A and B are shown apart, each in its own frame.
Chain A
Amino acid sequence: MFLAPAYLWLLILALPLLWRHQSRHSQVFPVSSISFWRSAIDDGARRQRPSGFNSQLLVELFVLLLLTLAAAQFTGNNTNRVAAVSLDNSASMRLTNANGDARLTASHDAATNALRSLPGSQQVALFVSGFGKRPMLHGFPHYVGDVLGEWEPSAADSSASEMLHHSMDWLGGKDHSSRELYYFGDEAMSHWPTVPERIQLIPVTGTASAPNYAVLGVTAKRRAHNPELLWIKAFVGYVGVGETASVRWSLQIEDRVILDGVAELQSGRSEMLSLSLTGHVDAENVTLNLDTDDSCALDNRYTTEIETEEAIRVFVGDSHSDLRKAISAVPGVKVVDLSGSESAKVWFSPKPSHGRPRLHFARPEDCILSPANSSFFQLEHPILDGVDSVSWDLNLIEDLKPELGTEVLAGAGPFSFLTIDGDRRIVRVGFDPVTTGFIHRPGFPIFITNALAWLTAGEITSEDIAEKVTALDPIRTPLRERQSRSVRSKPLNLPIWAFLAVLGLALALLHWRKS
């Protein structure tokens, strides 16, 4: 082992040091007392520059340190590399691909082969749906691969995105230089490019003669834990003479406007429009328009009329007094307090009986999807017509958890699920409207009105029922380029000791040039 090149280099570099050390010891000079010398060195230590010997010693020690690091890098085990392998065994994996292969079997084989091809010293964690936050297995790749090869996977009623989220958390908690994520499944994992921030100056019609401008900065990004969510942040600011200005904005995908609103801007202050789009939306096709027509106003736009023939009974919990007040403020809605109601849930239904349509406000952990056909509706659904999502704190909104056996056709969005169970219509709101400030928004009464209109509508048409998924895209190749922390930053391929070595050589050259 000591004949390795690294050790020989260490020996070669150590020889001149030893020689200088021995020669230094041979020049012993007796003096009366070294106390003055010691105090002189102590006093002059600050301004004393290193001698040639000390400089050489420092440079050589630095080179020795670099070589030691390099030797450790060459000969040591790669315990600082870690990878997470996620095998998707969600319900959608029961299906077969277009070529007739079973998805789960194909994913299982691909995961086993990938594990066996990983470096033997790498730490690997196997994540499978249904095991919660902890990995199913943890160890070296060959061990995990052998165990996985003998294991016969079965599709579970769980979410692939949740499993990926746990994988991300597990990787994010590791302090390692290299983190990799391998995903085997049918979840669309496209990496959407980040839309570069665009700053525009748009003239705004103002009351004063001086030109006014609205500043629009748009940033669209995808979260690492939920890549299907396209999060758009638009900062709209007004710079002008007048105190306020109304700006109409609209968000459109390709040629279709999916969301719009009006922002009341104050001069010198900016307002953030936080919008989100779910599903496979190409960010390049998303457009956020800013209309400078200030004739529109908030009051004009959000005027609604409620057409109800009978009073609506509302069951309100004690802890949701704000929600009760907000609901009771909706025209045509009558709030009736009943004893024994749950504090965590608010059932909002024309008739509180089973089999009747209902509007369900619940916490995410309590809002469980039923196995019935469920469809996720986007913001362009009629129930959200006229409802803005301006200034919502999306961080407070959590995804809904599907119930066991539910086939999720699309990921949970920030807004709501629409469930059609037989002839019953249910609207579930998967976030707390009080905490998120939804009840204080002008769109809240509109939402209530729209929900009541949809719940009390006529017969269920085929358009309301989601289409049955029969064929999905074939399984994709495993994604290796995905890192845990940031999808923007590209990891450095060169180890740190390479940079240190370059720095050490530069110092050595500088020292030799000076000497």
Chain B
Amino acid sequence: MLQAISIDTHQVKLKRSMMSEGLLFGAQFLAGLHGLRMRIKRQVLSDRTGESRGIRAGLSGEFADHRMYMPGDDLRHLDWPLYWRQRKPFIKVSDSQEDCPVYIVLDATASMSFGTKWDYARQLAAAISFIAIESANSAHLFSLGDGIRKLSTTFDRRSFFKITCGDLQSLQADERADISIALNKLPFYRRGRGITVLISDFLDCSNLAAGLSCVSAKSETVLFHVVDGWEQSPDLQGLRELEDLERGDRLSVAGAETARDYRRQFMRFAEDLRCMSFRRGLHYVHACTEEPVNRTVMKSLVFSGR
């Protein structure tokens, strides 16, 4: 999905605008993202011209194939030299250059507010959006909660990315809902083929498989499983009463053995999610908050193998 391309020039203006958004999306954050470009292997389908290879035949001038002349075809595309040699009319077909929409779906439920998960997820969303813009694609930002909500659409890197960062900055993870229900509505918001990036902790999903099926339909999908460091390996001593951030339930736990059983359960859940993604052709990226964002993004690049 992502590919590192060395570029010679930096977008100075964009950098300045990013620096003004505070430490969350500061210069240090953006410095690790420079040089990353997004290139989709599959043919995209969009109603907007871009730099990705479209599934439809277009007029980009880059020759792709010949086909027989059909009544109604434009005679300007007729290959006359070939006609004189073969005595048969052939039409020159060229690829279309279309936009690859990147749908960034950010889980904004209350469980994401634990620890540094929310900041990390927003940085991931901003990074993906930044890379999409750098790749001359459009970035569509959604938030998942009680439903699915479209936050912003960024077409122009110079003007709209600042708006995206502002939306992410003001977004709060305080909704209490099942994201698998909201994911079912995602296909109604997408137009054409593109890339869907789902950033979530995938906790308390009643039917995650059905939600992922809706996400992965006609789209290349990347799952960022955001996990806090304590959440992954809790250090629990003595008796604690735990409160569910999303549901408000409380549970008394005690002892290191329970924490060990919890780690085993959590790792099993992550492994199940990875296997489920693999079976459905999705790219699973384990995003731990103790790891820098750019390294996680690079890991997704390595994972995709492109």
Contacts and interface: CB of A to CB of B under 8 A. Distances in A.
Interface of A: 24-25, 27-41, 43-44, 47-48, 51, 53-54
Given A24-B252, A32-B228, A40 B261 contact: yes
Given A37-B242, A40-B264, A43-B265, A28 B258 contact: no
Interface string B213-250: 00000000000000010010000000111111111011
A48 B239 contact: no
A330 B258 CA distance: 89
Q: Per DSSP, are chain B's interface residues mostly helix, strand or loop, or mixed?
A: mixed
Contacts, number: 89
A43 B258 CA distance: 9
Given A43-B261, A43-B265, A53-B254, A33 B244 contact: yes
A51 B254 contact: yes
B294 interface: no
Nearest to A51: B254
Interface string B110-151: 011010010000000000000000000000000000000000
Contacts of B261: 40-41, 43-44
B269 A29 contact: no
Interface of B: 111-112, 114, 117, 201, 203-204, 228, 231, 239-247, 249-255, 257-258, 261-262, 264-266, 269
B240 A29 contact: yes
28 contacts: A24-B241, A27-B240, A29-B241, A29-B243, A30-B244, A31-B231, A31-B245, A32-B112, A32-B245, A32-B246, A33-B245, A34-B243, A34-B244, A34-B247, A34-B249, A35-B203, A36-B265, A37-B242, A37-B258, A39-B265, A40-B253, A41-B251, A41-B261, A43-B261, A44-B257, A44-B258, A51-B239, A54-B254
Nearest to B109: A32
B262 A33 contact: no
A27 B241 contact: yes
Contacts of A30: 114, 242-245
Most chain B CB atoms below 10 A, which of A24, A32, A34, A43: A32
B239 A24 contact: yes
A33 B266 CA distance: 11
B111 A32 contact: yes
Contacts of B262: 36-37, 40
Given A27-B240, A30-B243, A51-B255, A36 B266 contact: yes
B201 A37 contact: no
B229 to A, nearest CB: 12
Contacts of B264: 40
Contacts of A54: 254
What 9 A-B pairs are tightest by C-beta distance, nearest first? A40-B261, A32-B111, A32-B114, A40-B262, A33-B203, A44-B261, A36-B265, A34-B251, A51-B254
Nearest to B117: A32
A34 B252 contact: no
A153 B87 CA distance: 145
Nearest to B236: A29
B166 to A, nearest CB: 26
Contacts of B250: 28, 34
B254 to A, nearest CB: 5
B117 A25 contact: no
Most chain B CB atoms below 10 A, which of A25, A29, A43: A29
Given A32-B228, A41-B261, 6 more contacts: A28-B250, A31-B114, A31-B243, A32-B245, A33-B244, A40-B265
A29 B264 CA distance: 20
A477 to B, nearest CB: 65
